[in-house]
């Protein structure tokens, strides 16, 4: 499973002009499932995101997790994270899970995140979304769990 994590001051996602998820200080997590992924990978990704120490402590050192700082989490599906750009000028997305599997795993990530963290919002799987964010730092971290 592939993730792209961004520490944000605020973020929201819109579908057809309607805000479907909004957070203040916290993390924006873009998620892409791959064909070999299952619930175990979803759980590992959620655990990593919630425990990753990428927020500053009193000395300004990255030493606190989103849970430690009481931040929120905005989860957005993003199959394009699996893009293969090695050949030609048109990316291939064949490394992404098929839509039904992708949705099931996105739903699993969302369910697990909501079970483990009190402030979780989400985009809408498969929708044409506009994601708005103010990246804090900026801090952007790629994640891959197997």
Active site positions, annotated: 78-80
Q: From the CB of residue 98, how many other CB atoms can be counted at a distance below 10 Å? A: 10
Q: Which residues have CB under 8 Å from 84's CB, separation 6+?
A: 91, 92, 93, 94, 95
Of 42, 47, 41, the residue nearest 65 (C-alpha)? 47
Question: Following DSSP, what letter does each residue of 15-60 receive, concatenated?
Answer: ETTEEEEEESSEEEEEEE--TT--HHHHHHHHHHHHH---EE-TTS
Cβ–Cβ < 8 Å for 4, 83: no
Q: In the chain, what is the greatest distance between 2 CA atoms, to the nearest angstrom?
A: 48
Name the one residue in this structure whose structure tokens are 């197997």.
Answer: 146
């Amino acid at each position: 499973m592939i993730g792209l994590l961004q520490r944000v001051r605020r973020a929201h996602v819109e579908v057809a002009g309607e805000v479907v998820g909004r957070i203040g200080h916290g993390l924006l997590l873009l998620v892409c499932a791959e064909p070999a992924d299952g619930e175990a990978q979803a759980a590992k990704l959620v655990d990593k995101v919630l425990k990753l120490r990428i927020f500053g402590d009193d000395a300004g050192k990255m030493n606190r997790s989103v849970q430690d700082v009481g931040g929120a989490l905005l989860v957005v599906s993003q199959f394009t994270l699996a893009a293969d750009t090695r050949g030609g000028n048109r990316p291939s997305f064949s490394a992404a899970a098929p839509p039904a599997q992708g949705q099931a795993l996105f739903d699993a990530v969302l369910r697990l995140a909501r079970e483990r963290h009190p402030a979780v919002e989400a985009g809408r799987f498969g929708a044409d979304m506009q994601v708005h964010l103010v990246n804090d730092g900026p801090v952007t971290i790629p994640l891959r769990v197997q």
